Structure 1
Amino acid sequence: MLLLVLVAGCGDEKPASPSSSPPPARPVTVALDFVPNPVHAPIYLAGDAVKIQKPGSGPDGLKLVTSGKVELGVLDIHDLAIAREAGTDVVAVGALVGKPLAALVAQPDITRPRDLEGRTVGVSGLPSDPAFLQAIVGHDGGDVSKIKQVTIGFNAVSRLLTKRVDAVPVFWNAEGVALKQRGLEAKEFRVEDYGAPPYPEVVFFTSRATLDAERDRIAGALDAIAGGLEAARARPEEAVDVIAKAAETDDRELVRAQVDAVLPIFADGLKLDRAVLERWADFDAEIGLVKERPDVDATFDFSVRAEG
C-alpha cells in the first residue's frame, strides 16, 4: 500500500550515511516493500550495517525473505498477518512506523465517511482496500453496499484530481500528502479515528529459520536502523537528500513534505508494543482481513528489541 508518486529503479543499494552503531561482521540485506520513500529513511541512514534491496516490478520481499536470499524485510503489518494465515513462517522483529497510515481520502465536498453512500470509491484491487472501506464507513454508520467500488489500480492521485472517483483508500502520508501538494484540499478519514487501535503500520520481518540462525546479526542491523531513525530526526534534510536520490526524483518539495509527515510517527527505538498488538489482532479479525485472529506471540518476537 505504500504508493508514492516517485519513480525508482531496481537492485541493491548501499546506505548513504553511517549511524553511530557498530555494524555487524557482515551487512544484513533489507528488502524494501516498495520504491524508496521517506518511510525508508532510517534504513538508508543506517550505514554499513545494512545493504538495501529495492523491489523489482512488484513487491517481492516476502519471497526473498522466505527463500533465505535476504535476512530482513519491510512489510505492512496486515500483509504480515495475511502471509502467516497462508502458512508462511515469518515473524516480525521490530516496528518502523508506529502508527496506522491507512485512510479514506475523499473529495472536498465529502464531510464524513457515510456521505459516500451513492458515490464511487476507487480501490486498488488489494484485499485490504474493501476491508478498510468497510471499517471506516461502517464505524461512521454508513452502508458500504450503497457505495459503488471500482478497481483503479494504483492511480489514486490522478483519479481524485480528475474527479473520476469520490474517494480512495490510501496512505495519508503518501498519496494524502501528494494530493495536497497538487492543490486538492481532500478530506482525510484516518482509520485510527474510526475504531482502529494505534498499531504499527510498517514492521521489520524475517523468517523463523533466519532468526534462529542469525539473531545477533539481525539485532545489530536493527540497532543501526534505530540509529538511522535518530539521524533522520536530527537531520531531516539529510533524509530528504538520501530518499530523493534513491527514488531518482527531482521533486524535493514532495519528498520533504512526506518526510515531515512521517518523522513524528516512526516507532521509537523500533520497539513493538504487545498490548497494542493484541488490540490490532482483534481489529484485523473484526474487519475481515484475516479469517482467524492472529496469534500475537507467534507473529512477533519481542526479544530482539525491548518491548515498548
Structure 2
Amino acid sequence: MSRIVASLAAVLASLSLAACGDDGAEPDAPSGGAPASRDLELILDFQPSAVHTGIYAASERGLFTDRGLVVTIREPGASTVAPKLLRSGRADLAILDIHDLAIARERGAELIGVAALVQRPMAAVIAADSSVVSDPADLAGKRVGVTGLPSDDAVLESVLASGGLSLADVETVTIGFDAVPALLGGKLDAATAFWSAEGVRLSESLPTREFRVDEFGAPSYPELVLVTTAERLAEDRRSIEAAVDAIAAGYEATVEDPDAALADLLAAVPELDEEQQRAQLDAVIGAFGDSRALDLASLAQWAQWDLEHGIVEELPDINAAFDLEIAGN
C-alpha cells in the first residue's frame, strides 16, 4: 500500500513539474512567472524642460514599468551626441530635432523616427522690439543671431523670403545658443530660437515679435521626433512599441492635466524653475497635439523644404527614415 501511495505521489509530482514547465511565461522570465523587465536608455535632445513633460509623466506614474520597461532618461552633453550613442548601441531611443535626423541619415546613420513629440515647428525668428520689427521686411539691415546649425539659416531664409528679403539683406552673427543674453543685452535686433523656450523667457523682459517659421513660409512638421536605430527596431520592436505607447500615454495625461504633469516633471528634475517651466508648458502644450503619430503628408512637405533650403543635399527618403505604424496613423 505504501508503494502505491509513493508511486501515485511520484506521478503527481511529475505532472506538477510538467505543468510548471508550460506555464506560458517568457523563456527568460524569473521563477515567479513574470516577464523579465527590459532596460532602455532614452537620450533627450537638450536639458529637461516643459517640452519633455510627457516623458517624465510616463516615468513618474510607472507607465514604463507597467509595460515591462525600466527606462533611464539622460540629457546629452551636446546636440550631436545622441546619434552617436544610438549608433554605438549605448542608447536605445533618443529625441532628435527632425532636421538633425535628416542630416544624420544623409551621413550614413540608419536611424528611424518612430513618434512625434511636438507636432509643429518650434523654430522662429524672434525680434527684440516689436515696434522696430513688426514684419519680416523690417529685418532689412538688422543684426540677426543664428546658432550656426544649418536649420537656423533655413528658418531665417524662410522668414526673410516671406518679406521679400534674402540672407544678403541682413547681417548674421553666429551666437550658438545664446539668443536670450544676446537679445537682452541689446547686441542683436533679432535671433533664431525656439518660441517655446527662449521666446517665453524673452517675452518676460522685452516687447518681442515672433515670426514662427510655419507661419512664414515653412510647412507644418513635427519639430522633435523619437528616434531609434534600424537594428534595434529589428531586434526588439516590442520594447520600442511599449516605450512609445507609454510616452504617448504620458503626453495624453499632460494635455488632460498640465498641472499634475508639471508636478511630475519637477519631482523628477527638482532643480528646474517652476514658474519658468509652467510658462513654457502653457506655450507649447497646444503643439503636442492629440497623438504621437507621424503624418506622411506633413513629412513629405518637410522633406522638400529641407532640400530646398540646403539642410540636406538629397531628398530624404521618408519611407526609410520613419516607421509610421508604431505610433499609429
TM over 0.5: yes
Residue 229 (structure 1) shift: 0.8
- Aligned twin of 1:125: 148
SS of 2:324's equivalent in the other structure is coil
Aligned length: 284
Write the distance in 1 (CA, Å) between the matches of 2:237 and 2:162: 41
Q: Does 1:184 align with 2:206?
A: yes
Classify 1:30/1:110 alpha carbon distance in 2 versus 1 (closer, same or farther; 3 Å): same
CA RMSD of aligned residues (A): 1.7
- Aligned twin of 1:16: none
- Aligned twin of 1:111: 134
SS of 1:270's equivalent in the other structure is coil
Write the distance in 2 (CA, Å) between the matches of 1:231 and 1:102: 25
Residue 248 (structure 1) shift: 4.4
Q: Alignment partner for residue 158 of structure 1, among 173, 181, 206?
A: 181
Residue 85 (structure 1) shift: 0.8
Q: Which structure has the bigger radius of gyration?
A: 2
- Aligned twin of 2:108: 87
Classify 1:160/1:24 alpha carbon distance in 2 versus 1 (closer, same or farther; 3 Å): farther
Native 8 Å contact 1:100 1:199 kept in 2: yes
Unpaired segments ≥5 residues, structure 2: 1-34
SS of 1:268's equivalent in the other structure is coil
Residue 140 (structure 1) shift: 1.9
Native 8 Å contact 1:131 1:288 kept in 2: yes
Write the distance in 2 (CA, Å) between the matches of 1:67 and 1:205: 14
SS of 2:276's equivalent in the other structure is helix
1:15-55 residue CA offsets vs partner (Å, 9 max, x unmatched): xxxxxxxx983143211111101111111111334523323
Write the distance in 1 (CA, Å) between the matches of 2:225 and 2:125: 22
Q: Alignment partner for residue 230 of structure 1, among 252, 256, 272?
A: 252
Native 8 Å contact 1:121 1:167 kept in 2: yes
Sequence identity percentage: 44
Q: Which amino acid aligns with 1:268?
A: D
Native 8 Å contact 1:124 1:152 kept in 2: yes
If asked which structure has higher relative contact order (CA below 8 Å, sep 6+), I would say: 1
- Aligned twin of 1:18: none
Q: Alignment partner for residue 200 of structure 1, among 204, 209, 222?
A: 222
Write the distance in 2 (CA, Å) between the matches of 1:207 and 1:65: 7
Native 8 Å contact 2:86 2:229 kept in 1: yes
- Aligned twin of 1:43: 55
- The TM-score with structure 2 as length reference comes to 0.82
- Aligned twin of 1:301: 323
Moved more, 221-230 or 143-152: 143-152
Q: Does 1:216 align with 2:238?
A: yes
- The TM-score with structure 1 as length reference comes to 0.88
- Aligned twin of 1:279: 301
Write the distance in 2 (CA, Å) between the matches of 1:171 and 1:288: 20
Write the distance in 2 (CA, Å) between the matches of 1:279 and 1:242: 35
Native 8 Å contact 1:50 1:221 kept in 2: no
